[in-house]
Chains A and B, each alone.
Chain A
Amino acid sequence: MQVLVLAAVLGAMAWLVGNVQSNLERQNINSGFGFLSERAGFGINQTLIAYTEDDSFGRVLAVGLLNTLLVSALGIFFATLLGFSLGVARLSRNWLISKIAMVYIEIFRNVPLLLQIMFWYFGVLRNLPSPRQAVSIGDAIFMSNRGFVVLWLEASAGAFWYGLAALGLVIGGIWLRRRAANAQITTGQATRVWRPLLGLAVALFGGAALMAGVPFALDVPHLKGFNFRGGLTVIPEFVALLLALSLYTAAFIAEIVRAGINSVSKGQREASAALGLPESVALRLVVIPQALRVIIPPLTSQYLNLTKNSSLAVAIAYPDIVSVLAGTTLSQVGQALEIIFITMMIYLSLSLLTSWAMNRYNQRMAFVGNNT
């Protein structure tokens, strides 16, 4: 019986593969991944790496992937920050704070994400004034319907030395902290790290300035013709998508955080209070570390959701991986099988990577021994 079923399944698969091959041949569509090295021939309005129309589809893939990563990583960062604050606020004894958090949560998690993306894009950002009447904050940020233009630093070749100095500062800072921690354990002396750190910073950046002078120039945005020149331009599609993803996911994270904090037994707070610990210290060192055990697994799925939901970028043409690869590239090349396969594999890998990292973090949080 099992052999029969297996044979039937294999037979069906063989028929499908044969069918696809003959159909592709008939429609004159190539198969294989050769298209990745062909010239793309279309522009992309946000590229983190150098890209022109003459670059290959492979380059398009990289640009799209980086755009997806950028919006997802920043989205996760802001959603986590806002979500934790809202979750704690939701439990506040202050009636107003708790109700404001509740209203926020109920609004943002109960409106479809696609609508929220469209709201921010078509409802808000696209309705900003034209560049000529742009809303300006201190002449450093200009907000218009073409996106946000931000005052930026233009770096020339000598900036390399500054990068080196910054790297040195990070390494030196870690070393100093470790030395101070060891000193506290062995001598009881709580040494302050910031003084030597400041000295190190002055020495390193002073050295870099000697080597390279000042290789930075302020890149001030200014109107030229109908749009801005100079500065760093953040396209409105990115802002809308990031806003919608962060605000939407934060509402879910807030509920997860609230449930996590509630899961910590009342006795833990009472014991902290009885020891005279201020409430903020008790929350940070006693309650939240225990709540994290409960928070992390559902938090992980929110991170995965956010990353996958970033594919809704298509709706407002933010150039994420789905938009540029499974959208534009697919319509030009026509190799649906390969392109959809690549895109699916990319999301699968991203998700598995996130899960793996979060599971490792969760293992570190687990209690030792039996706990009821």
Chain B
Amino acid sequence: MQKTEIAVIGAGPAGLAAAIEAARAGAQVTLIDENERPGGQLFKQIHKFFGSKEHRAGTRGVEIGVDLLEEAKRVGVITRLNTVVYGLYHDKCLGLACGDHSEDLQTQAIILATGASENVLAFPGWTLPGVMGAGAAQTLINIHRVLPGRRILMVGAGNVGLIVTYQLLQAGAEVVAIIEGLPVIGGYGVHASKVRRAGVPILTSHTIVSAEGGESVERAVIAQVDNRWQVLCGTEQTLEVDTVCLAVGLSPLAELAWMAGCRFSHVPTLGGWVPLHDQDMQTSVPGIYIAGDVAGIEEASTAMEEGRLAGLAAAGTLCHLSPEVGEIKKSEVRDRLAALRWGGFGEGRAVAKRQIIEARCEA
């Protein structure tokens, strides 16, 4: 059977950072991703990141991605692309599917950096071609250079909805409106101002009633809602659009953690069911670590720091770092994480994360 010391599943920002940190400490690391290219969602992030200089604020996600790939190569991370981890079995053995065959990979520690999936809304017409996740639209424009449509309705005014709206405008589409079910805009003010300046109205307390059309979306009906999400009669309006993008949140992709028997907690602030983890990102199953969106929906910058933490911790458990050196390095990362979870938006996540760590310690 093939063996590796540490398997990192998912080569997005969290997985890349974890693999680099563990390999730099001297561990043998295999980084596995089901896609043909590494980077996860990083190469879609053509906007500049926030934070401080240590968090590479002002740098675009794409550039951070290129740097991480080079660094991973330099420190000797073995990267396996087009490879699906289809199962996690007892004693930390992974089932891999690659091309025309499957194989087993025996590991000593596993870092799950599997990311998240987009939530959907079910409304009449939601299965028509032209209704898609906002993340899917972002992949189409920024990776494949294909416009999903000409006239777009964006559902959801969180950061994903706002940023993807701006990028759709840059790609040459018209975004007719952004609607948001809540009475307030969920995303950062700076992103909201940017799309408003570009002339896109943001309608709060509005929902989509239906998408209509023959072969694909031709129009969408929206309406105002009250504070119990009930449509207010007479407020319906029809928008001529060919695309409806859904930016209604993400869910952690945690199947492998469920399979491993990890304990979970339901944390709405972090996207739903999240595996419990300690200060080292270790789950309730010894030797299985998590990092990034699978550990709770946040941002690429926090995902990278969580990855570094998991990579250092896993390498430390396998004696590649002395406990003293490991602790110093980990506490530096924890300080940077705390700095990222600051302010009106970060504070809620900081509180949720503390609760997860406390629940894990009590478990």
The finding on whether chains A and B are genuine partners in a shared complex, rather than unrelated, reads no
Q: Write the residues of chain A forming the contact surface with B, with a CB cutoff of 8 angstroms.
A: none
Q: Write the residues of chain B forming the contact surface with A, with a CB cutoff of 8 angstroms.
A: none
